Amino acid sequence: MTTQKDFFSKQESISTDSSPWSSFFTRIAEQTQLAFKAYQEATSQITFDDPLNVRPAFLEFSQKAFSNPEYLFEAQKELVETQWNLWQKSVLKFFGDKPEGGQEQSQNQDKRFKDPAWSENNIFNFIKESYFITSEWLQNSVNNMDGIDPSTKKKVDFYTRQFVDAIAPTNFFATNPEVLRETIKTNGMNIIKGMENLVKDFERGNGKLRIKTVDHDHFQIGKNIASTPGKVIFQTDLMQLIQYSPKTEKVDQIPLLVVPPWINKFYIFDLSDKKSFIKWALDHGKTVFIVSWVNPDDKLSHKTFNSYMQEGIIAAIEAIIKQTGEPQINVVGYCIGGTLLAATIAYLTEKKRDLIKSATFLTTLTDFTDAGDMSVFIDDKQLDRLSKRINKQGFLDAEALNRTYSILRANDMIWSFVINNYMLGREPFPFDLLYWNDDSTHMPAEMMTFFLRSMYKENLLAKPGGIKLDGVSIDLRDVKIPVYLLSAKEDHIAPWQTCYTGTQLFKGDTRFVLAASGHVAGMLNHPSLNKYCYWTNEKLPSNSMQWFKDAKQEQGSWWNDWLSWISKHGGKQIPALDPSKGKLKPIEDAPGSYVQVKMY
């Protein structure tokens, strides 16, 4: 058992020789000076404005709070009483008593506090429980405040959660038992190594802090990641089309096209063998094609949403039809790649081009009424500021979007690495999913401005005729092909309740399936892992919570459910087609050259 003595009576384990400690503090000073210099260079041009438009939201909240002194008094009273009760119980526990009544505020599933000392050591247990009480009180103070505009409350709640995450005791040297143990164990060398890592991360970001989240040297695209054999058989300015080599003698007649989001590299579908959707689909007799989006620079700043439709999806469909001789294909779209796909299908419907037999949408928003935490970054002031920036640059740089998504999951994507890299002085692990996450793409200015305003801000895709593409007004309600909708229960980017509204938009035979876990992990659930469950319900009521109430929980991966569904739309079995022997001459081997272009 870990006791107070383990942490506060181990001075004898640290060398008292003044010479090593003199060297130690000298190195700390040197690393600190380097880090501070890099920080100064990065912040020397910063003006203290409000780029995220947070100030008005907190001002409205504060005015409302101070106009209701009774609410403030009751809230403060509740906090003081709860903290006092915790203090009394902690004192009793410290002297060996076991106080009755009450339960700890912390949840066992919070992996920030997995170290045994948080439960076994009275002092750290008190710190932890006090933190949970305070954080819960702060968030409840926001959520329980009446009379505030919903969008304002959402923004205040979001940034309050960021503050709560930032002040967690795990994020501070003196209140993290694992860091204290490591410091004693290494005679403080973890601090020196951590400062060295901090300096390197400033250097990686050219003066801005770019936290290293993965061991990049471990991965090589085309070797141990994105390694499924195939050929690039077609390309435009915006994409390369990859056809994968078949793994079975017979395949479904109807080929399959996968459309990833244009803000990420395609190999989210082709990570390790135990995560590769591509390999799995090939093993089950599919002829698989995938779009590999370009990483655009300022020369492509004029490319629009319509360009991505025409030179991306439609060009890919036409190339597949020419390559295979089949008049129709099945399509899969992921995230905003699915949003683009939905708009494209609606456009083809209005043009009476019957090119798509079925569509699968993975964690895809078609109605942006509630776009999750991303919506806090979307208001007129922020969009105007962003438009000026990206129009001047010609594109929205991938690093900016990476930072945004990191903020959405700050505990996992920021603070865990602050602890690991800077406080424990360790290197991050070679994790393929984080390597992919760190390998984003830029976005053309015209395209991204249109997408943010038309989808996130004005929600035009869900409105009949709300969007015109190539002069054609589109309506998702005119889409009558079979549709498979997959969402994830813990998705913070595309909330499943909002994804569910697609069941009311598309008018063909529609199936909705809810996977466990989040936006990426919920999708990448290889059947061999048997990691997450999923829910099904043949009925599609208008209310998402009613759907879930009547849904059946299924064990295993939703991939098997999708396989049964897609097989109904695959046609007869035909001999497999070698990508080298089709009508289109291969350009290069998969994974192609577009995917090799890094964002920095």
Contact 420, 178 (CB under 8 A): no
Question: Residue written as tokens 């141990």?
Answer: 224
Give the type of residue at 152. Answer: T
- Give whole-number Cα distances, 15 to 18, 21, 192, in Å: 8, 8, 16
Rounded to an integer, what distance in angstroms lies between the CA atom of residue 130 and that of residue 169? 10
Of 522, 532, 462, the residue nearest 488 (C-alpha) = 522
Question: 54: buried, middle or exposed (CB in 10 Å: 19+, 13-18, 0-12)?
Answer: middle
* CA dihedral for 80, 117, 158, 420, sign (positive or negative): positive
DSSP class per residue in 444-473: EHHHHHHHIIIIIIT--TTSTT-EEETTEE
Contacts of residue 43, Cβ cutoff 8 Å, sequence gap at least 6:
none
Residue 335 annotated among the catalytic residues of the structure:
yes
Q: Which of 258, 335, 374, 469 is catalytic?
A: 335
In whole angstroms, give the CA distance from residue 470 to residue 448: 17
- Rounded distance, CA 315 to CA 285, Å? 24
Do residues 374 and 575 touch, judged by C-beta distance below 8 A? Answer: no
Q: How many Å from the N-terminal Cα to the C-terminal Cα in the chain? A: 47
- How is residue 484 written in tokens? 């498979």
- What whole-number distance in Å separates Cα of residue 75 and Cα of residue 138? 9
User: Cα(163)–Cα(155) distance, rounded to whole angstroms?
Assistant: 12
Active site members: 335
